[in-house]
Structure 1
Amino acid sequence: MSNVSRVTISALPLPSQPCTLTKNLTPDPLTPSPALFHNLRREKPSLQRRARLLDAEAHFSYVAPFPSAFPFRIVPPEGEEDTDKAALIEKWLSVKEALQERAEQQAGSVLKKYYPDETEIGDRPVKLIGLSETGLRDCLPRLDVGDAFALLGTPSLLPSAQEEVAETTQDNAARRELIEVLSGSVVLANEDVDPEKSWAPWSLRYSGHQFGVWAGQLGDGRAISLLATPHPSDPELTYELQLKGAGRTPFSRSADGLAVVRSSIREFLCAEAMQALGIATTRSLALIAHPSIPVVRERLESACLLTRVAPSFIRIGNFEALNPPESIFYLGGGGQQSANYDALRKLGEWVGRRVLRLPGIDWEKGDAWGKELVLEVARRNARMVAGWQAYGFMHGVINTDNVSILGLTIDYGPFAFMDIFDHHHVCNHSDAESRYAYDAQPSVILYALRALLNSLAPIIGVEAASGNKAVTSGWVDGVSAEQITEWRKEGTQLVLQELEDLFQKTCAEEYRRIMNKRLALRRVDSQDEGKLSRPLLDLMADHSLDFHSTFRRLAYFRPSMAQPAEGTETDSNPALDEYVKSLLTLTLEPQMVDAVSATAAWKSWLKAYAARIESEKGDWAGESDVDAARERAARAANPRFVLRQWVLEEVIKKVEEDMDNGKRILAKVLQMACYPFEAWGDEDDPSPEESLDPEIREERRYCGIGEKQMLGFQCSCSS
């Protein structure tokens, strides 16, 4: 992408009409177009901040970022105490809205920049504290960020003096615009009536099951998509930029719509860490703090906006909103609209054609798409959750509204990576029933896929009955409720077993593939899981060993260690004895390790592992040193650095206490998370700790298991 010309964020090209979500799905009737939405922001801005049920046919609502403490503190100006309260609210909001268009716009840019009133800008001091080089490179290679990386300083785990930032007018202009837009202070839009030019930010409507209970309409309560732009390598591959924590939307219910430094750092780092591990995920772009905006969570915190990027943020809950379960019981939420089957059709066609780009379907000829959509979503999510299991990742809140249509890990909250291995570990202290425990994650993803099938089943039933032709506009006009129920039953019966079989098969195959990769095995044997992977995990669980450190240590195992040492009459080998001892140190709970039984169990497993390695010597043809090649392969699949809970808590604390130094530490941890397989801390250097460079010493510490009190640390949903 080096030859791609770079442009500032306001000049990013917009996707063509067929690839634009807001041009193909149905807006909230109260905000029917960018032009009318812009007028609403002037005349009645409370409509985009007021929690409400959208009309049943709506897929989204236009809404502009508005990072502000909530409840809003609206005090009548002196002499206006008798003003009508409703009018006072509208006036107060409209003054703070970004409605002022400025003359300077980049040449060729369709989007215009709208600023708040000059008197309001001073109320919003902001600070760039994070920027992802990998997210920028992979998703937005043409975005000019100016001197933003220089502003953040040199990544380092150690406090350092403030660095000078070179002043270059052009670069600073690009960086300033980036911060203005991604902080929610400036709105990118265009109120032109020409549909090719009209644009406004939006939030999606969706519903869902939370902890297995139907919750009704949920929606993007604190997320606002700013814009979409095509990737230079594929004009039909569109990336959305979304602000998380940008203020209230119609879906916020009683919440403030904000995010805090703590939760934003967690998602910012983990999304890029997951990408580095090869697990499908939304991506991170930037973190911008609002130190002056107070946010009440478990404690008083300050606001922070995360910019995340994905081809689409549509999730299973978007479909559930348009065809909810027939037997509805509410827990929370704000109510639920009746089914709208034409809106369901419209969303399905859009997702199948433009988001999933389902192969083998001739859209112009009207081929059926419902069944293939469900199965493709199943494939993608099966591969994703297999990656979670293989790398010990726990999501924490796998509600149906948190399951992506694209099979992306999305909505990072109380997540955690495994420490001491425990099949049943729960990372979310709000999960009292262990619904989202580590070993339950595949079954919970399957639960969400069944919910997707339930929503699309009537369409699938009709398509099957009509010779595999797609439904068309008005397909339920004049149809009885009983007929729709019958179609739902037929569609479910047609697909359910295939869905479950496909999910389980895909998940199992992907899990075996990754686990064999982690064990540096080149062939996948059907017996590997029963003879190697599962017994290995049981060993870790039985003897309280650290999940990640154990896998990394296995990279240094040699099959020769399992053979009797030369010149001895027994089957023992001192090298194997020492190696097993090193494995048993990988715990912070040595009192839980029975050295005798653990040693015997490990030796038995390692001999089986050695035999399996020896069985594929021929697969390493061309390697002069097979042991060294295997070690390289294992190290490239087993991270040296893991984004553990103790690391996150320490980084968050340092950023909250001192953002200037904290942002350098954050940048270094991001760097380690993006390249987790590197030998951080000079891993192979046997020198004593005290002789190492202080930065290298800190790298080693950050690659460690941490303190015992942080083992199995649980977060809350507000994380």
Structure 2
Amino acid sequence: MKALGRLATMAKYSKVSISALPLAPSTHLITHNLTPDPNAQSPAEFRNDVLPQRPSTQRRARLLSSEAHFSYVSPLPLPFPYEITAPDPPEVVEDKAAYVENWLSKHEAIKLQPDGTGSDTSSLLHKYTPSARDQKRVLIGLSETCLKDCLPHLDVGDAFTTLGAPALVPSLHEESTNEASPEASAARQELVDVLSGQVVLMSTESKTGESTPGFAPWSMRYSGHQFGNWAGQLGDGRAISIHVTPHPLDSSKTYELQLKGAGRTPFSRSADGLAVLRSSVREYLCSEAMHALSIPTTRSLSLISLPELPVIRERVETACVFTRVAESFLRIGNFEAFSPPTNMFFLGGGQQDANYDALRILGEWVGKAVLKLDNVNWEKGNPWGKELVFDVARRNAKMVAAWQAYGFMHGVINTDNVSVLGLTIDYGPYAFMDVFDPLHICNHTDEGGRYAYKYQPNMIIYACRALLQALSPLIGAEVQLGKAVTAGWADDASPETITEWRKTGTELVKDEMERIIEETCAVEYGSLMRKRLALRRQEKTDQLQIFQPLLNLMEAQSLDFHSTFRRLSFFRPSHLETSNTPLLEKFVAELLSGSPEENNIDRAKATGEWLAWLEKYAARIETERDDWSSTGNFDQAREKAAKSANPRFVLRQWVLEEVIKKVEKDHESGKRILGKVMQMACNPFEPWGAEGDEIATGELDSETREERRFCGLGDNKLLGFQCSCSS
């Protein structure tokens, strides 16, 4: 019923196909405001020269010119190295380079489809297809929540009908459905074609009345620190942005659609630019799960399997193209690319010299269009470097506080994986905490524990220091000038002057930036922990007397992080009354059942520890009784509030592993299971599996029984399961 409600909400918008989605205003387009790779200076040059004549330009890994922020590049999901077929009939190839370019060109999307633009001709986006590539593509996932929030006007046709009803126990026979209209089938097929990289949306002309360039897909250049080491140029090695469209209710809010796993870009280095089904499922589910927990994140739109396209990882797997959505995918590493650190040990394959004017161009556009810094008067030329650093610091402090409060571990908080908008981005070896362990490492590649749960706030500070390091020369110059820098501001500056500016900028901002992160993180974490414990009033003693002792209990007794919080939702101070001793004993026993080591726990000692903490918690609850006076029944109101903040369903590693195996084995039944897990992830606070119902599990229907299982700890062998960076 909830899914139907969401679809009904979306129905109030005038729907358009993906090719007819309006293009964002020029001021919101990266390609209209930043500097392209000189190999293609415009969409027209990219479409008319690069794609038909020298397509290898966009597939060859290389360092971009120092001033370039991005490179035009179109989707091409093919195995790499490319398997270039010999001529048929056989012939002697005199010019092998030209033959390769011709082969690639036939696989590029350069053939204009005859139906042109679609219904909204103001967008001027045309559909282009390849002449020698028509891969099998299967839609296996489409997020209703992302559609509702970001793209409510997108016509997906009969996509949800083809996916089938979400179910953990799919029936042997699909429900009978009415045959879709040709229009609905066409809208769904166009969606699949575009989001799989088969069809590319481009325009080489401007909108009527504008002097701006057209539109073509692109990938961003960025650099970064990986595991604390400078890695040089990195960039979008398997991510290609294909569209930017405004929200129908707020044109100032635009959403970028990005394909992950759609083929090589100039930043792919030695990799294939592809993504496997396994890693795509993980990011697809977790992006929406995080949003449901109110944790800032990029969003997920679709999963399209390419079952006939093999991908070599630790084993041979099949390819998948994942579409993610965000207002911006820019990272701290984008700034580092134009102001790299000096005198650092270097692990990467190359890095351009600093280009301080490109840094200025990037910063000005990010400050105005992405962060929308309202405390900077841009018309008057106010300094903005310091304010940009502080804003990014605040956003990421709030994000990491939410990670800590909900036991989320990112696994790879490299500076190129930290968003300037403070969004959780690049889901690789992530995990939600099982048994509470502050030193847990979710990434088995992280042998030193750099990104362990406990150290995540410190790693955000490290990343923001890298941003400050990149912007410090500009900030220092602003201090000297008393206003924002202008074009060519560092052209004539000596190395000594740059060093002095860097020192001035760092000294001005560093301490204040770190104070902002620490205070913002502490305040946000406290607010979220109070929410999880249904406490309304802020008390300075909460961290030392309530939160930390609770975490210590979980760690000492090897208790599951999430189920402990969920069970505490049902606690009432009256449980401590003498007359309720049996009820209290039962409640404590349920808390202890959240440990996989339950049989090895010293129950008398553990019970005593819980009673001591519950007494303090009850006393703290009682201090707020008057604050809840307007809610009617005090205990019921608190329970409802607590259950709305503590998930019943958590996207655990064992759940992900099981779903991935089922989807890999059989797309037809797997996509329905995937759909149900997405539904549970998007509604994590619902009482899945008839929670609280004392009926025997064996008497539940099969679907409810599976829901209950999916809300459990799973096999002990997968508790604390670690993934690798390739995940």
Q: CA deviation at 1:305?
A: 0.6
Q: CA deviation at 1:240?
A: 0.1
2:32 and 2:213 in contact (8 A); partners too? no
TM-score in terms of structure 2 length: 0.96
Aligned: 1:317 with 2:333? yes
Structure 2 residue aligned with 1:456: 471
Show CA shifts across 1:165-197 (max 9, x none). Answer: 522111111111000000000110012267546
Structure 1 CA distance, aligned partners of 2:194 and 2:213? 19
Structure 1 residue aligned with 2:575: 561
Structure 2 CA distance, aligned partners of 1:497 and 1:177? 52
Question: SS at the partner of 1:157?
Answer: coil
Structure 2 residue aligned with 1:484: 498
Structure 2 CA distance, aligned partners of 1:348 and 1:181? 31
2:35 and 2:68 in contact (8 A); partners too? yes
2:93 and 2:99 in contact (8 A); partners too? no
Aligned: 1:688 with 2:727? no
Structure 1 residue aligned with 2:402: 387
Instruction: Name the amino acid aligned to 1:218.
Output: L
Pairing partner for 1:624 from 623, 632, 647:
632
Aligned: 1:431 with 2:446? yes
Aligned: 1:37 with 2:46? yes
Structure 2 residue aligned with 1:707: 715
Moved more, 299-308 or 85-94: 85-94
Structure 1 residue aligned with 2:664: 656
Question: SS at the partner of 1:287?
Answer: strand
Q: Which runs of 5+ in 2 are unaligned?
A: 1-9
Structure 2 residue aligned with 1:50: 60
2:436 and 2:559 in contact (8 A); partners too? yes
Residues 52-451 of structure 1 aligned to structure 2 (within 5 Å):
52-77=62-87, 78-105=89-116, 106-109=118-121, 110-117=124-131, 119-121=132-134, 124-160=135-171, 161-164=173-176, 166-192=179-205, 195-196=211-212, 198-331=214-347, 333-451=348-466
Question: SS at the partner of 1:364?
Answer: coil
Pairing partner for 2:649 from 641, 647, 655:
641
2:168 and 2:672 in contact (8 A); partners too? yes
Instruction: Name the amino acid aligned to 1:31.
Output: A
Structure 1 CA distance, aligned partners of 2:14 and 2:590? 52
Show CA shifts across 1:457-505 (max 9, x none). Answer: 11111112222x1111111121111101100000000000000000000
TM-score in terms of structure 1 length: 0.97
Distance change (3 Å), C-alpha of 1:81 and 1:397: farther
Residues 526-675 of structure 1 aligned to structure 2 (within 5 Å):
526-565=540-579, 573-675=581-683
Q: CA deviation at 1:164?
A: 4.8
1:53 and 1:334 in contact (8 A); partners too? no
Question: SS at the partner of 1:7?
Answer: coil
Structure 2 CA distance, aligned partners of 1:615 and 1:80? 88
Instruction: Name the amino acid aligned to 1:132.
Output: S
Question: SS at the partner of 1:322?
Answer: coil
Question: SS at the partner of 1:565?
Answer: helix
- Identity among equivalent positions (%) equals 61
Show CA shifts across 1:114-172 (max 9, x none). Answer: 0111x532xx0000000000001101111111110111000000132244552211111
Instruction: Name the amino acid aligned to 1:482.
Output: E
Question: SS at the partner of 1:29?
Answer: coil
Distance change (3 Å), C-alpha of 1:199 and 1:115: same
Question: SS at the partner of 1:285?
Answer: strand
Q: CA deviation at 1:578?
A: 1.8
Q: CA deviation at 1:576?
A: 1.8
Show CA shifts across 1:567-599 (max 9, x none). Answer: xxxxxx232222111111111122442212211
Structure 2 CA distance, aligned partners of 1:529 and 1:69? 52
1:276 and 1:675 in contact (8 A); partners too? yes
Moved more, 533-542 or 589-598: 589-598
Show CA shifts across 1:591-639 (max 9, x none). Answer: 4422122111111000000000001101001222100100000000000
Structure 2 CA distance, aligned partners of 1:587 and 1:579? 14
Question: SS at the partner of 2:252?
Answer: strand
Structure 2 CA distance, aligned partners of 1:93 and 1:164? 43
Structure 1 residue aligned with 2:532: 518
Question: SS at the partner of 2:322?
Answer: strand
2:42 and 2:213 in contact (8 A); partners too? no
Moved more, 540-549 or 679-688: 679-688
Structure 2 residue aligned with 1:569: none
Show CA shifts across 1:512-532 (max 9, x none). Answer: 000000000011111101101
Q: CA deviation at 1:86?
A: 1.5
Structure 2 CA distance, aligned partners of 1:306 and 1:361? 37
Show CA shifts across 1:530-581 (max 9, x none). Answer: 1011111110010011000000000111101123338xxxxxx232222111
2:63 and 2:350 in contact (8 A); partners too? yes
1:220 and 1:251 in contact (8 A); partners too? yes
Q: Which runs of 5+ in 1 are unaligned?
A: 567-572
How many residues align structurally?
708
